[in-house]
Amino acid sequence: MTSPHPVDTRLPWTRLLAFGIQHVLIMYTGCVTVPLVFGAAVGLDRATIGLLISADLLVAGFITVVQSLGGGRFIGARLPIICGATFVAMSPMILIAKEYGLPAVYGSMLIGGLLGLALAWPFAMVVRFFPPLVTGTVLTVVGISLIGVAGGLIVGTNPDDAAFGDPASIGLAALVLLIALVFTCLGRGVWSQLGVLIALAVGVLIAIPMGLVTMDGVGAADWLGIPSPFHFGAPEFPLTAVVAMTIVIAVVFAESTASMLAIGEITGKKVGRAELGRGLAGDGLSAVLAGVFSSFIDTVFNQNVGAVAATRVYSRYVTAVSGALLMVLGVVPRFGAVVAAVPKPVVGGVGLVLFATVAVIGINTLRKADLTDRVNLTIVATAVGVGLIPVLTKDMFDRFPPSAQILLDSGITLAAATAFILNLIFNHTRVGQFARATTEPTTQAEPQNTAPPEKPQEPKGPQDPVNA
């Protein structure tokens, strides 16, 4: 009898639970950071941020289970995937909230998710138009753009506030950053993987005698409860907001595609168009549920892709257990309220590491593109420049109509659109051939690795996850 592939292997319950808890601990900080940062950026109170955290954990857990076990013929990649809130959508969500309000944020997300469900399978067939040249550029801009958000959490956002730039807050954030660095770089095994979470916990303990931790509202939160649909009211659908969120879904699809292909290479499991189509449909479903339950778009967490490679535990049933654990955490609102009490400087110090890591992942992805080619190099430089200009030059689009500002003030949206269009023109039309015909002889060859293979080659075989 043929033994099942390691991805489809069912481990004993004790090991399933142990490895499942490990995955949750690795991704938890990054998952809850998104609602914490978003809530702070749009001025939500602590109780409401706690609700966002609960909703996010519930949706992330459900989508993780669907991606791991599958949900029929058309959804769920059936791979060892952990899903969590993506940083890609954060900037557009903040801009939409400030211009149109929270009902528009979740209304546009709902429409974007429905479009994502409809386009998931067609997208899987045109994945060659989202090569590392595009995805790496977008991830780099995402990480750099969000570093400013971390800085705002550390020093504040209002220079007229008496607490703005408080040296104590800056010192606390620096200490949190140092602790994360020490554990991540010098720790061994699980201590290294949990470095960020340990730094967060130590930072909270230090913040208590500083008077930065208050538990107001925790006692009023319920022990059990399910996030209510449309918490902020009936959804609204401004056209500009819907367009912006649809672009976000396309960027999320490109990022998820790269992550799923990486999972296939790590585990030796073939990932073709069927797996990609089902996986992207899972991303679309997460956006729909997020729009209903006031949550966030949940996609493949790259931290956990690395964990699969490091631990050599490939079973998708392990990640399904992780999803179930996240769902349990999501229906305990008091737990979300406790997490929401984490001081902003502590979150900022941790966020600085996480956001910068996203940028580094983008840079590493760009290594798969041929940047010795003059045209490719110019595409990346142009997209990064266009994406960062609204971040580094504040208020430059203030004289434009408010509806246009939502798109123009989002560096992520500008970078994604610029990289996609330029790659399409210069790597998929005769324009690129003409451009390269004028270059030096050493760069006249067609660029390598500008598109991922449609059928990734299967490695010789992974190690046994049970005996690893």
* Element spanning 22, H or E: helix 13-41
What pLDDT is recorded for position 337?
66
DSSP character string of 44-87: --HHHHHHHHHHHHHHHHHHHHHHHH--SSSS---SS--EEE-S
Average pLDDT for 297-323: 82
* Per-residue model confidence as pLDDT tens digits over 186-196: 877 667 756 77
* Per-residue model confidence as pLDDT tens digits over 141-189: 877 877 877 788 788 767 777 677 788 888 888 998 898 888 878 877 6
Q: Please determine, for residue 468, whether its predicted confidence score (pLDDT) is greater than 90.
A: no
Burial of 437 (0-12, 13-18, 19+ CB in 10 A): exposed
Looking at the chain, the whole-number percentage of residues with pLDDT higher than 90 is 20
Model confidence at 306, pLDDT cuts 50, 70, 90, reads low
Average pLDDT for 100-112: 94
Model confidence at 464, pLDDT cuts 50, 70, 90, reads very low
- 65 in Cβ contact with 90 (< 8 Å): no
What pLDDT is recorded for position 365?
81
Sign of the Cα torsion 192, 194, 195, 201 reads negative
Model confidence at 280, pLDDT cuts 50, 70, 90, reads very high
CA atoms of 308 and 315, how far apart (whole Å): 9
Model confidence at 259, pLDDT cuts 50, 70, 90, reads confident
Mean of pLDDT over the chain: 81
- 139 in Cβ contact with 162 (< 8 Å): no
Average pLDDT for 52-62: 92
Give 41 or 114, the one with higher predicted confidence.
Answer: 114
| Range of 168-182, 211-225, 256-270, 441-455 with top mean pLDDT | 168-182
CA atoms of 454 and 372, how far apart (whole Å): 24
What pLDDT is recorded for position 236?
93
| Range of 225-239, 395-409, 447-461 with top mean pLDDT | 225-239
CA atoms of 83 and 322, how far apart (whole Å): 10
CA atoms of 374 and 430, how far apart (whole Å): 16
Helix (H, G, I), strand (E, B) or coil at 181: helix
What pLDDT is recorded for position 190?
61
Give residue for tokens 């997208």: 123
* Element spanning 84, H or E: strand 83-85
Lowest mean pLDDT of 184-198, 228-242, 395-409, 441-455, name the range.
Answer: 441-455
CA atoms of 232 and 451, how far apart (whole Å): 41
What pLDDT is recorded for position 451?
53
DSSP bridge pairs for 298: 85
What pLDDT is recorded for position 21?
81
What pLDDT is recorded for position 211?
75
Q: Please determine, for residue 221, whether its predicted confidence score (pLDDT) is greater than 80.
A: no
State how far the alpha carbon of 173 is from the alpha carbons of 49, 323, 352, 396, in Å. 21, 31, 9, 30
What pLDDT is recorded for position 284?
94
What pLDDT is recorded for position 213?
73
Lowest mean pLDDT of 2-16, 335-349, 434-448, name the range.
Answer: 434-448
pTM above 0.85, yes or no: no
What pLDDT is recorded for position 217?
61
**CA 356, 21, 343 angle in degrees (round to 5)?**
45
Lowest mean pLDDT of 1-5, 103-107, 169-173, 190-194, name the range.
Answer: 190-194
Lowest mean pLDDT of 72-81, 176-185, 403-412, 441-450, name the range.
Answer: 441-450
CA atoms of 292 and 42, how far apart (whole Å): 19
- 255 in Cβ contact with 135 (< 8 Å): yes
What pLDDT is recorded for position 160?
74
* Per-residue model confidence as pLDDT tens digits over 358-375: 788 788 888 888 888 889
Amino acid 217 reads: G
Give 137 or 341, the one with higher predicted confidence.
Answer: 137
Average pLDDT for 278-288: 94
| Range of 52-56, 65-69, 411-415, 445-449 with top mean pLDDT | 65-69
CA atoms of 90 and 326, how far apart (whole Å): 21
State how far the alpha carbon of 324 is from the alpha carbons of 60, 201, 238, in Å. 10, 24, 35
What pLDDT is recorded for position 291?
94
Average pLDDT for 321-335: 86
What pLDDT is recorded for position 111?
95
Q: Please determine, for residue 83, whether its predicted confidence score (pLDDT) is greater than 80.
A: yes
Q: Please determine, for residue 467, whether its predicted confidence score (pLDDT) is greater than 80.
A: no
Q: Please determine, for residue 287, whether its predicted confidence score (pLDDT) is greater than 90.
A: yes
408-432 residues labelled b (16+ CB within 10 A) or e (exposed): bbbbbbbbbbbbbebbeebbeeeeb
State how far the alpha carbon of 261 is from the alpha carbons of 87, 269, 464, 468, in Å. 20, 10, 20, 22
- 120 in Cβ contact with 284 (< 8 Å): yes
Give 192 or 324, the one with higher predicted confidence.
Answer: 324
- CA proximity to 357, closest of 189, 184, 198, 130: 184
Lowest mean pLDDT of 57-66, 299-308, 363-372, 448-457, name the range.
Answer: 448-457
